[in-house]
Each structure stands twice: as C-alpha cells, then as structure tokens.
Structure 1
Amino acid sequence: MDFTHFNKDGKAYMVDVSEKNKTKREATAFGKVKVSKEIISKLINNQMKKGEVLGVARVAGIMGMKKTSEIIPMCHPIFISGCEIKFEIKEEECEIHIYSTAKTVGETGVEMEALTGVNVAALTIYDMCKSVDKRMSISDIHLLNKSGGKSGDFKF
C-alpha cells in the first residue's frame, strides 16, 4: 500500500500538488450540538448572557476554516474563495445543526476546511452555553458532499 503523506524514507511530508490542475472545488460538512431545553429557549429568545451565540459561532467557524492548515499538519494553506456557516435550530430535538461550506479554485480540496468550520462553530456554541448547562454533546460531524478535483464528486 502506498501512503501519500510519507516520503520514500518513511518520513511524514506534505504532498506536492504543484503539478495538479487548478479546478473549482467545494465541500460541505455537517455536525450537531445537542443542548438542553433551557439553552434552546435562551437561544431562540436571545437571552444568553455571553451574547448572540450563533453569530459568534458563525464568525468562529469561518475563522477556523481559514486557519485549517495551521492546525492539521499535512493540510496545504489554500486560498478560500468563499465560505459559509449556517445553523438550523431544531427546537423539538434540542439540537443545533451546523452546515459549513468552503469553496476554492486550486490544486487541492476544501473538505478539511469545511470539517474544521463545523468543529470550531460547535465548540464555540459549547463555550458560550456551558454556563447554562454543561451537558451538551457535539456529534455526527461528517462530510456531506464535495465536488471537483481528481477524485470527483462525493455525496454522503
């Protein structure tokens, strides 16, 4: 089996993408934060003491996407041409669903950026709501879809 992130000497390295063609690439990731009824109520009624939770989490997720190559060792620093974080509050289920989309035109994909965006947004929600109730869970984080590049399109 050939491992792509190890050189001929078995040492970790960043894959060389300089010979790859630039293509339009897009990826969307999903995750959810399970919270208490009290947190859902406070979110819906904008009563969280730390401020507008989802607005802050949106900005944090976008910032996280832009910093992906700094925290995932073999990720290339890439130009992100667009990114978006969306939330759906599922009141009955006491869940916040997070959708993170990243776009680029380049030699490598943006799946890790989309996944990082979801994780950072979820962690920010946790941080801003923990004073109300620490019994939250972050789960179901996965890539929903991606397009572009040599491996083609993917849908979960």
Structure 2
Amino acid sequence: MKRLTHVDRHGQARMVDISEKDETRREAVARGTVTMQPVTLRMIQKGRVPKGDVLAAARIAGVMAAKRVPDLIPLCHSLLLSSAEVEFTPVEEAGRLDIESRVKVTGRTGAEMEALAAVAMAALTVYDMCKAVDKEMVIGSIRLVAKTGGKSGVYRRLGENGAEG
C-alpha cells in the first residue's frame, strides 16, 4: 500500500511539500448530478424559479468554490487557476441536471479538488435555489472523470463519455 502523503512519519497531518515538483499544465474534469421532479427541471429551464436564474447563480458559485478550495479543504495548496468552467446539461426524461466542471492550471499540483468543489457547490446552489419548490432533490455521483499533467500523467474514468481531460 502507498504511503499517505498528507501524514508525516508520526501520523500527524501535514501539507505536502511541492517545492521540488516541476510546473506543468494540468487540467481536471469532474461531474455530478442533481435529480429532481421533472416540473422543477422545467422551471429551471424556463427561468421560472422564484429565487431567480438558477444556472447563472450555480455557475458563479461553482467557479467561486474552485477558487476558494484552500479555504474549504484543509492542507490543499493555493493555486492560481488559468480557468474554471461549469456547464449544465438537463436530462428531461430522467428529471436530472448533469453538472460538469473543467479547471485548468499551470503549477506544481493538480486541480482535481478544485474541479470537484466546483461541481459540489454548483449542485448545492441548485438545491438552495429550488428547495422551496422541490425538497426531494438528490445531489449525487460527484466524481473526478479526467485529469492530465503532473507526475502521475493522464487519468480517465472508465465508462465516462467525453472525459478528454
């Protein structure tokens, strides 16, 4: 089993020293879903949710979360992101909103946590803005689907369409 990098030889939590790592272009793609009543999804699509433009607010929340990961997750490094995008795909027949984030950086550590945080916060924002009309929503399946760059190279989750990181 590999040694945990965020734990020192005494079992104490530590921030990993990345000063000796090379800077490389890195990209991470994450996805998740919010499942809801079909009528709720239609309200989102038609801009009829009482709190306002759900997707615009969720997109901004996702980008903001990607930028604030070191404030949210202990021991994460601060990254100067090159870009952070959040996209939504409604799946009407399933009453589901698919969320995808793509984060790019040139640095010494990857952007996986930033991409995952963007999806999570976008999903939470959708929930918050729609909870008055649909308390049965379910946030789920948040996962890393692709990453490129760094020492470990390319990762693509099996079975994910369009996971070109």
Using the size of structure 2 for normalisation, the TM-score is: 0.92
Structure 1 position 10 matched with structure 2 position 11: yes
Task: Determine the structure 1 residue equivalent to 2:70.
Answer: 69
3-state SS of paired residue (1:92) = helix
1:45 Cα deviation after fit: 1.4
How many angstroms apart in 2 are the aligned matches of 1:63 and 1:90?
A: 25
Matches within 5 A, 1:72-87: 72-87=73-88
Q: Which runs of 5+ in 1 are unaligned?
A: none
Matching residue of 2:47: 46
Q: Which moved more, 1:8-17 or 1:94-103?
A: 8-17
After TM superposition, the runs of 4+ consecutive aligned structure 1 residues lying more than 2 A away are none
- Separation in 2 of the partners of 1:96 and 1:3? 35
Report SS of the residue matched to 2:93: coil
Aligned to 1:135: 136
CA distance in structure 1 between the aligned counterparts of 2:134 and 2:9, rounded to whole angstroms = 50
In 1, the alpha carbon distance for the partners of 2:117 and 2:146 equals: 15
d(CA) in 1 for partners of 2:9, 2:136: 47
Q: CA deviation at 1:40?
A: 1.2
How many Å separate the matches in 2 of 1:24 and 1:3?
24
Question: C-alpha separation between the residues in 2 aligned to 1:102 and 1:36?
Answer: 30
Aligned residue pairs, count: 156
- Return the TM-score normalized by structure 1: 0.97
* Aligned positions of 1:77-156 closer than 5 A: 77-156=78-157
**The 10-residue stretch of structure 1 (2-11 or 80-89) with the greater mean CA deviation from structure 2:** 2-11
> In the alignment, which residue of structure 2 is the partner of 1:27?
28
Instruction: Give 1:3 shift.
Output: 2.0
> Helix, strand or coil for the counterpart of 2:94?
coil
Q: Distance in 2 between matches of 1:108 and 1:72?
A: 15
Distance 1:98 1:9 in 2: 40
Give the Cα–Cα distance (whole angstroms) in 1 for the partners of residues 107 and 113 of structure 2.
14
Q: Which runs of 5+ in 2 are unaligned?
A: 158-165
Work out the CA distance in 1 between the residues paired with 2:93 and 2:13.
46
Whole-angstrom distance in 1 between the partners of 2:9 and 2:46: 58
Q: Give the Cα separation in 2 of the matches to 1:41 and 1:7.
A: 51
Residues in 2 aligned to 1:9 and 1:34: alpha-carbon distance in whole angstroms = 43
CA RMSD, Structure 1 to Structure 2 (Å): 0.8
